[in-house]
Structure 1
Amino acid sequence: MVVMAAGAALVAGAAERQQRQSDPQKVDVATMLACRYDVPTYNEYAMALGTAGEGAAGMGLTRIADESNPFMHEYDLAAPVEVLGYRTQRVALASGALMAVLDNVKPQEVAHKLGIEEALRDDSFKYMAMRVAHHTQEKVGSSTINTVISHEVSTVVTHPGKVLVGCSYRVNTF
């Protein structure tokens, strides 16, 4: 019973840390990268950028024309941000996530700073690690809405020497 109460308090605490920002132009990128916004804020931000980055300029971003990875869209920020003690001026949108693009760091070191003890994958081809920051399940009719916001660290073969670190904002139903 004590463990269940502690778990409920942890989930409630995580839910309190999620912020809502209804204006995508006012989103703080460092806050988004740190998993402190809610899923609707992320979705509105990603939609405001547009599929071809047409909304980027109004949000202080410049789309980088790089076709090396069709699943990732990169942007330069107007000013650098700090992520876990690293400074970068580049971010990427990829599969429901906003990720900072870091140079010349080890993904294991970044994961350790996030308190991630074990990687999901760590080999010569790919590094991938995650830690859930916020999770809820809500029953709606005969469906369950599953919301997961997670810290993520990864590498991609199209970007050697780079580490992606940020936050994934996902909702699914089952």
Structure 2
Amino acid sequence: MAEDFDPASLDLAALIECRADVPAYNGFAIWLAGGSGAAETLGWKEVASGNPFLAQYQLPAPVHVFGRETGTIVFTATGPMAMLDGIAAPDLARELDVPATVSTPDKFLGERVVAESTEDTGGVSLSTRITLNVSTVDTHPDKTLAGCSYALDVK
């Protein structure tokens, strides 16, 4: 997948807003993680996130997502998220119809399933799950993270 990825084809907003499929995301993610200089090819600058679970990038130009724009994105283990200012996580979650699973003054976490499927082929079961997520993290106070999780489970 990674060798077939063309950086010119990247639609970052589609990946963040869950408008891509799992193979499209995986091809990009493998390309980004596998090649030294991949982020630089896109003009992205990796910056310290202060969080071992987030890879953070400063973009050369803002990306427009969820009716807002941001110049900073992070990647979790399963997908890209925009780092947004000026809107509280519970408010954005309501706008995006994302139900809260945790909502306290210190932490917000919400998830809405966008697509889910299972295919059985030749004794192998492929389950895909795409979710739209809104959250906060301690390492980024006053920021709201919103983006997509792309999961593929092979059994």
TM-score (norm 1): 0.79
Tell me, what secondary structure is at the counterpart of 1:50? helix
CA distance in 1, matches of 2:43, 2:147: 18
Q: CA offsets, 1:106-140, max 9 Å, x none?
A: 00111112112x30111133211111111111123
Q: Which runs of 4+ in 1 moved over 4 A?
A: none
Tell me, what secondary structure is at the counterpart of 1:120? strand
| Aligned CA distance change for structure 1 residues 42 and 48 (closer, same or farther; 3 Å) | same
Residue 45 (structure 1) aligned with residue 28 (structure 2): yes
Tell me, what secondary structure is at the counterpart of 1:105? coil
Structure 2 unaligned segments of length 5 or more: list them: none
Q: 1:15 matched to which residue of 2? A: none
Residue 54 (structure 1) aligned with residue 70 (structure 2): no
Aligned-CA RMSD value: 2.0
Tell me, what secondary structure is at the counterpart of 2:139? coil
TM-score (norm 2): 0.88
Deviation at 1:142, TM superposition (A): 4.0
Deviation at 1:67, TM superposition (A): 4.9
* Equivalent of 1:120 in 101, 105, 112: 101
Residue 138 (structure 1) aligned with residue 119 (structure 2): yes
Indicate the structure (1 or 2) with the bigger Cα radius of gyration. Answer: 1
Residue type of the alignment partner of 1:40: P
* Equivalent of 1:88 in 35, 47, 70: 70
Tell me, what secondary structure is at the counterpart of 1:91? strand
CA distance in 2, matches of 1:52, 1:59: 12
* Equivalent of 2:142 in 161, 166, 169: 161
Percent identity, aligned pairs only, is: 35
Residue type of the alignment partner of 1:104: G
Q: CA offsets, 1:35-85, max 9 Å, x none?
A: 111112211212222269731011231111x15101100111121122222
CA distance in 2, matches of 1:91, 1:105: 16
Number of aligned residue pairs: give it: 152
Residue type of the alignment partner of 1:168: S
CA distance in 2, matches of 1:110, 1:57: 31
CA distance in 2, matches of 1:151, 1:97: 10
Alpha carbons 1:144, 1:173 under 8 Å: kept = yes
Structure 1 unaligned segments of length 5 or more: list them: 1-20
Deviation at 1:95, TM superposition (A): 1.3
CA distance in 2, matches of 1:166, 1:134: 14
